[in-house]
């Protein structure tokens, strides 16, 4: 069933299903959106009861990359990558004496790094459901991993058996990794399949934007889910937004990492906004519109029925919310388009991984640019999506 549904995707893409979605399911009647970019994406999935948004978002991004490259639609296995990441996390947890993150969260670079080391397989080859369920639920497995590795880390006489035992716990839940498999009549290993896809890990980079770090340099983003201690290019906020807009306008989608804990984030309503009723924090045009609103509307900015005044965001207040932990890396999603509302505010069309039934918009939402400015923690994208003047500042080839 998965295969037949998935390989009919090319027909839907040729009909522009994402454009039809935007026309038929535009959020809230008071919003009027003009489409600027609407890029190809594979169907929305459901991460279910697992903290694996980092893998769902990034593989969705890479599936769109393959479409951009003119390749067929692929359904890649999230759980194969998750399997390998859990093992690598456990190894690092041991080597750092239990002082590293071994929970479910992760970052976009985890996926790229795991593909580089372990390859990748199609979903039908490795669904990762070997524990009597039909949807992901990793709480029991992760509790077991943490308990086991905590004990090993504290042991005095450590044997050579524990890495195999660590993997056996993971594979008891997710399944053994295939050494070889047949897909569409051809035999592959995970490595040769990755090679055939043509995903080059060196083409993808991560960026962040915090003034606490030097700009235009690579920095270690100090967040718990960066368990690999990876380094990100740090750019000013204006450059980050310029990169994102340039990417989407030129056919490149984006893996997005950010905060979804705000009252203004409503997956059910298909919107993420950053309202404010403080005129000093608004743009001039928002301030003028705000003054004309009835008092009842001024005090009800989370109705999601029409555009409302939103906060102006800059490097300073963005850093402040990060330092106060009002912005944390809660969730990763996939940006696939760009729009403008009737007031000229940009919105980023966002593919979530919470299934298609939890909102009326097929699992998508629109995030306003003020929300994106304040709540983006990091992005991953193809380096060719970065404007040339910024690439030069970053010393990228």
Query: Which sequence spans correspond to the domains of the chain?
Result: 2-274+313-394
Torsions phi, psi of 44, nearest 5? Answer: -65, 135
Output phi, psi for 367, to 5 deg: -105, 125
Cα–Cα dist 272/265, whole Å:
4
Instruction: Give kind and range of the element (H or E) at residue 364.
Output: strand 364-368
3-state secondary structure of 7: helix
Q: Which residues contact 122 (CB under 8 A, 6 or more apart)?
A: 74, 75, 76, 77, 183, 193
Cβ 361 vs Cβ 214: under 8 Å: no
pLDDT 10s digits, 127-155:
999 999 999 999 999 999 999 999 999 99
Number of C-beta neighbours around residue 191 at 10 A? 14
**CA geometry: angle at 339 spanning 337 and 345, to 5°?**
135
Packed helices 53-68 and 108-118: angle between N→C axes, nearest 10 degrees: 70
Which candidate in 84, 352, 359, 382 is catalytic? 352
Per-position DSSP letters for 315-355, written without gaps between them: HHHHHHHHHTTSS---EEEEEEEEEE-TTS-EEEEEE-SB-
Question: What is the C-alpha radius of gyration for the chain, rounded to an integer number of angstroms?
Answer: 22
Question: In this structure, are residues 224 and 105 in contact, taking their beta carbons and an 8 Å threshold?
Answer: yes
In degrees and rounded to multiples of 5, residue 34 shows phi and psi of -105, 125
* CATH-assigned architecture of domain 2-274+313-394: Alpha-Beta Complex (3.90)
Token pair recorded at residue 145: 């991993």
Q: Which stretches of the chain drop beneath a pLDDT of 50?
A: 1-27
331 noted as active-site residue: yes
Q: Are strands 204-208 and 186-188 parallel, antiparallel or unpaired?
A: unpaired
Query: Which one from 109, 138, 267, 331 is the annotated catalytic residue?
Result: 331
The whole-number pLDDT of residue 28 equals 62
Tokens of 234: 């740090």
List 53, 109, 136, 359, catalytic entry: 53
Label residue 307 exposed, middle or buried (CB < 10 Å: 0-12, 13-18, 19+): buried
Question: What pLDDT is stored for residue 10 in this prediction?
Answer: 37
- Segment 23-39, tens digit of pLDDT: 444 446 799 999 999 99
For residue 262 the two structure tokens come to 């705000």
Cα gap 109→229, rounded to integer Å: 10
Q: Is 53 a catalytic residue?
A: yes
Tokens matching residue 290? 């705000």
**Short-list 354, 357, 312, CA closest to 330:** 354
């Amino acid at each position: 069933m998965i295969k037949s549904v998935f390989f009919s995707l090319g027909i839907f893409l040729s009909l522009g299903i994402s454009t039809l979605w935007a026309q038929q399911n535009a959020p809230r009647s008071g919003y009027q959106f003009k489409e600027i970019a609407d890029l190809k994406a594979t169907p929305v999935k459901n991460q279910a009861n697992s903290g694996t948004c980092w893998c769902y978002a990034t593989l969705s991004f890479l599936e769109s990359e393959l479409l951009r490259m003119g390749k067929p639609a692929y359904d890649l296995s999230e759980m194969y990558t998750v399997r390998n990441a859990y093992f690598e996390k456990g190894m690092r947890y041991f080597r750092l004496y239990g002082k590293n993150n071994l929970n479910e969260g992760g970052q976009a670079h985890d996926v790229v790094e795991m593909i580089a080391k372990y390859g990748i397989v199609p979903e039908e080859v490795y669904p990762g459901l070997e524990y009597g369920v039909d949807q992901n639920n990793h709480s029991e497995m992760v509790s077991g991993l943490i308990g086991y590795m905590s004990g090993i880390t504290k042991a005095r006489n450590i044997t050579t058996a524990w890495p195999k035992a660590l993997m056996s716990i993971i594979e008891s839940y997710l399944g053994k990794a295939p050494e070889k498999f047949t897909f569409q009549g051809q035999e592959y290993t995970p490595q040769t399949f990755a090679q055939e896809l043509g995903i080059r890990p060196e083409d993808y980079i991560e960026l962040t934007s915090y003034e606490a770090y030097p700009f235009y340099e690579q920095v270690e983003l100090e967040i718990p889910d960066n368990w690999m201690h990876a380094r990100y290019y740090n750019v000013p906020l204006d450059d980050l937004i310029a990169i994102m807009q340039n990417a989407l306008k030129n056919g490149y989608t984006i893996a997005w990492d950010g905060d979804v804990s705000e009252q203004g984030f409503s997956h059910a309503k298909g919107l993420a906004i950053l309202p404010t009723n403080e005129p000093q924090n608004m743009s001039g045009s928002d301030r003028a519109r705000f003054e004309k609103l009835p008092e009842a509307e001024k005090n009800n900015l989370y109705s999601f029925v029409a555009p409302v005044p939103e906060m102006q965001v800059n490097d300073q207040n963005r850093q402040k919310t990060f330092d106060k932990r009002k912005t944390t890396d809660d969730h990763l999603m996939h940006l696939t388009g760009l729009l403008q509302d009737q007031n000229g505010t940009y919105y980023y069309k966002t593919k979530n991984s919470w299934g298609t039934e939890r909102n009326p918009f097929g699992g998508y939402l629109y995030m306003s640019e003020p929300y994106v400015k304040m709540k983006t923690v990091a992005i991953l994208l193809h380096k060719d999506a970065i404007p040339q003047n910024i690439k030069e500042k970053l010393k990228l080839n």
